[in-house]
Amino acid sequence: MVTFEVLEGYLFELRRNLPVFFVVLGFMLVNNKNHAKQMKCFLLLVLVAISWHSIDASPEAEFSDGIKLNGVEPHSEKPNIILLLSDDQSWNGLSLAMHPQIGWSKSRVIETPNIEKLASEGMRFSAAYAPASVCAPTRVSIQTGKSPAALHWTKASGPEYGHKMIEPLNVRNISHEETTIGEQLRDAGYATAHFGKWHLNGGGPNQNGYDVGDGDIGNEYAHQYADPNPADLFGMTRRAISFMENRKVDKKPFFMQMSWHALHAPQNAMKATLTKYAERLNRSVDDKRVGSAAISENLDTAVGLLMESIDRLGFRNNTFVVYMSDNGAGGGGKGDNQGIRDRLAGGKGGVWEGGIRCPFIIRGPGIPADSWCHTRIVGYDLFPTFCAWAGIPAEKLPKGLEGGSIQELLDDGLGKVYRSREELIFHFPHYQGGDGPHSALFLDHYKLIKFYEDNRLALFDIDQDIVERHNLFQQFPVKARELEGRLDNYLNEIDAQMAVPNPQYDPENAVNSAKSREGRSRAIKSKRNQAQSR
């Protein structure tokens, strides 16, 4: 019986031998004196030529939309780069594990199937860190490849007063003297776009290296969009797709940052999704947990639409997609829970793991599917990494870069990141999460936290004790002091801003940081209500 496989085999053989037929027929055509036979030869020659063309085109026709089967884009040698940055999404806020041995490193409630798929096609990083535990500092750090401490931009909200120490005032505008990743890639021939939350002032994306952008917008923007476009998730996606379609036409490589407003405005999630999670969690649709879960799933849907378009436009094999969060979830950074519950300690506004450890995934050319990397990386490593992908030589990179390219890790998850310093430092000289001014230093398997109100030190073996439950300071005081020396040196060298003792401090009338946080969130809520009623 002639099966499809057999037919396919014949066709393959036929196709392989078509050039021979072509030559033989051509020879017969030229050398034959009989007109009828010449005509037959000519017709056969035409038939062979047509079938050669059609068979040759058929297997790759489906992929001809910009891609050849060997994975090389014909129109551009430089890979496209897409950075997907979510907001306030915790390390375990996705339905895929961020550590292969830690069951609770994924959410059992929230469904994010599209991001799951992205991870299954790329590499997951179990020890990736946001440059800061709060928004704007992380964003400016990603733009510049420098740490928030070096940029003197370590807090997003304004200072709190009445504490034991006075916190420094922040820079609140991205400096035009800094080279952004948008500027660097645009100079290298990239079309650049920044959609969504900018939060860095300085004239917005258009004045900082981006051809296309949504303007100088911050958190207030998210709340203007509800079902069917919660937090502008689908509007951003439509603009991104249109930007990519234009690159299909002008054949320019592109860099696109999607700074999703979500998980802000959780109450604006799609109504059907809110209902689904309200039922699942047995809580009301107004509940914050319900909202966060629902908007996480809506965000995932938007990511899925974007991924589909990357495939449809034929960009898949020549595009790096990076997914990460700008900081940990929730308010209240104090590491009080210390691993009692199945979650990281602390949260937004503190340098415990819950504030800075973030989900991180990369899919792209040469990166093995469903792979893992456990090397510690930080958001400001992206600047030199993107430059390496774009083929920008090291001597063209701006001075004072603190990140290192993570390219060496992407073959098999193993290797090193070479930064200007061995240690990785997170500096938060502010009041927000309940710990007061404090900093953290990572070196090898150690993490040191220094609290400036009383110069107290805490030391953790972070590889063994991810929940920061066992303070090893008493056990290894010499090591802790050595790391403290490195921390102090670094902060000195970069001229970091520090909190200073408050001479007017009155312990009787001290401000409770947690209480003032509540006050602030009440103020934001009433402002939001006013905005909505306008």
Binding site for Ca ion (CB under 5 A): 87-88, 135, 326-327
Minimum separation from the CB atom of position 231 to Ca ion (A): 13
Tokens representing residue 248 in the block: 């299909």
Nearer to Ca ion, 349 or 398 (CB): 349
Choose among 115, 123, 122: nearest CA to 300.
115
Transcribe 86-128 into DSSP letters. Answer: ESS--TT-SSS-SSTT-GGGS-SS---HHHHHHHHTSEEETTE
Minimum separation from the CB atom of position 499 to Ca ion (A): 22
Nearer to Ca ion, 229 or 327 (CB): 327
Spell 121-130 as b/e; 16+ CB within 10 A means b: bbbbbbbbbb
E-strand spans in 462-530? Answer: 500-501
Nearer to Ca ion, 259 or 318 (CB): 259
Minimum separation from the CB atom of position 134 to Ca ion (A): 7
Can you tell me whether residue 4 is helix, strand or coil? helix
Contact 425, 487 (CB under 8 A): yes
Minimum separation from the CB atom of position 88 to Ca ion (A): 4
Tokens representing residue 165 in the block: 């120490």
Rounded alpha-carbon distances, angstroms, from residue 218 to 199, 231, 264: 5, 12, 11
Nearer to Ca ion, 324 or 466 (CB): 324
Minimum separation from the CB atom of position 87 to Ca ion (A): 4
Pairwise CA distance, residues 302 & 9, whole Å = 43
Nearer to Ca ion, 328 or 364 (CB): 328
Nearer to Ca ion, 322 or 448 (CB): 322
Minimum separation from the CB atom of position 171 to Ca ion (A): 18
* Locus of tokens 């290894």: 476
DSSP 361: E
The residue number whose beta carbon is nearest to Ca ion equals 135
Rounded alpha-carbon distances, angstroms, from residue 97 to 105, 185, 404: 5, 32, 26
Minimum separation from the CB atom of position 413 to Ca ion (A): 27
Nearer to Ca ion, 244 or 358 (CB): 358
